[in-house]
Amino acid sequence: MKNVIIGQYIPGSSFFYHIDPRTKIIAVVVLMVATFLLETIWQVLIGFGIALILIIAGRVPIRKIVKGLKPLYVLLLFTLVFQIAFNRVGTIVLDATMQISPFSILFMIAATIIWRLLASFKKFSLLLFFAYLVGLFFIMKNLAFSPLWTTWQLTIYDQGLIMSGFVIIRLLIIITLSTVLTLTTKPTELTQGLESLLRPLKAIGLNSEDFALIISISLRYIPTILDEANKIMNAQASRGADFAEGRLKDKVVQVISLLVPMFIIAFKRSEELADAMESRNFVPGKPRTRIHDLKFNYRDLITTVITVLCLAGSILVKVL
């Protein structure tokens, strides 16, 4: 649990690393808006192509971006299933009678077991999952024999596939954009960029400097607090607590027994931290100088031009 470093930042020196964080944040937001203006599958495919060219040019490891997609598999799958099941527009591409019988249920259980057994090959997890879905489809379509319990009709329309492709690719673009941002920008730079961008909000009473300090201190303390949670868990495990197994009720009790000391320690910690900050002349709201400077350079200009072109392009295709 040591060395937990927050954020996905990976050190590097390509083009993206040297863009001012403010430019990057604004460009990503603008490009996301532009993506939502796109209306057809061809447009989002072109958008995705541009995004790919940019990340390859910026030498951002694609592997990391795929990793960033992991938490969204369920959402992507849901989109696919939803579109296929409910979209009734266009021409029919597949119309199959699905059959359920004791045999097919046995086969499906077998398929599930095989799929779970292969789950240790994490690299191919996505591929295996699709193979599993295809397998289920094949079983229901062809391996029913008798006695049949029930049958249902699976009808897929081409617009259902196209729409799900559209939604998924649009999501891919957005994830890619935000992943590129977090991969190539240090959390400190991100906070500083945000601070600078939020500065006008001083008019409505939000002090962006204090806000940025709060974020950066939270970032700084997350590893420490995780480390602490780990220590407490180990201490409790050595006294017989079992966090992995047990009934729900036991788990709830264990989580509470973890949270209570965590809260007490966190409060004590924040009190000591406040003392340390104050003793080092920190006065909330007082102007401070900074060691990190934000400076625009020619790269920001290039980024801005590309961003504006993309936005203009997507507005154009929407209007035309």
| Among the listed residues 275, 296, 302, 312, the single contact to other proteins using CB under 8 A | 275
Nearer CB in complex with other proteins: 13/91:
13
Nearest to 48 by CA among 209, 146, 166: 166
User: How far apart are CB 243 and other proteins at their closest, in Å?
Assistant: 22
Does 158 sit near other proteins (CB under 8 A)?
no
Nearer CB in complex with other proteins: 50/277:
277
Choices 139-147, 156-164, 242-250, 267-275 (CB under 8 A): range interacting with other proteins: 267-275
Nearer CB in complex with other proteins: 269/299:
269
Choices 101-109, 236-244, 250-258, 265-273 (CB under 8 A): range interacting with other proteins: 265-273
Q: In three state form, how does the secondary structure of the chain look?
A: CCCCCCCCCCCCCCHHHHCCHHHHHHHHHHHHHHHHHCCCHHHHHHHHHHHHHHHHHCCCCHHHHHHHHHHHHHHHHHHHHHHHHHCCCCCEEEEEEEEECHHHHHHHHHHHHHHHHHHHCHHHHHHHHHHHHHHHHHHHHHCCCCCCCEEEEEEEEHHHHHHHHHHHHHHHHHHHHHHHHHHHCCHHHHHHHHHHHHHHHHHHCCCHHHHHHHHHHHHHHHHHHHHHHHHHHHHHHHCCCCCCCCCHHHHHHHHHHHHHHHHHHHHHHHHHHHHHHHHCCCCCCCCCCCCCCCCCCHHHHHHHHHHHHHHHHHHHHHHC
Does 174 sit near other proteins (CB under 8 A)?
no
| Among the listed residues 74, 146, 287, 295, the single contact to other proteins using CB under 8 A | 287
Does 276 sit near other proteins (CB under 8 A)?
yes
Let me know how long the chain is: 320
Please identify which residue in the block is written with the tokens 């602490």. Answer: 228
| Per-residue x/- track, 178-197, other proteins (CB under 8 A) | ---------xx---------
| Per-residue x/- track, 227-246, other proteins (CB under 8 A) | x-------------------
| Among the listed residues 67, 88, 220, 318, the single contact to other proteins using CB under 8 A | 220
| Among the listed residues 46, 126, 219, 317, the single contact to other proteins using CB under 8 A | 219
| Among the listed residues 69, 269, 299, 311, the single contact to other proteins using CB under 8 A | 269
Nearer CB in complex with other proteins: 22/170:
22
Does 10 sit near other proteins (CB under 8 A)?
no
* Distance separating alpha carbons of residues 313 and 35, to the nearest angstrom: 10
Does 18 sit near other proteins (CB under 8 A)?
no
Sequence-distant (6+) residues with CB within 8 A of 32 are 174, 177, 178
Does 223 sit near other proteins (CB under 8 A)?
yes
Does 210 sit near other proteins (CB under 8 A)?
no
| Among the listed residues 216, 236, 254, 304, the single contact to other proteins using CB under 8 A | 216
Point out which residues bind other proteins (CB under 8 A).
2-5, 187-188, 216-217, 219-220, 223-224, 227, 269, 272-273, 275-283, 286-291, 293
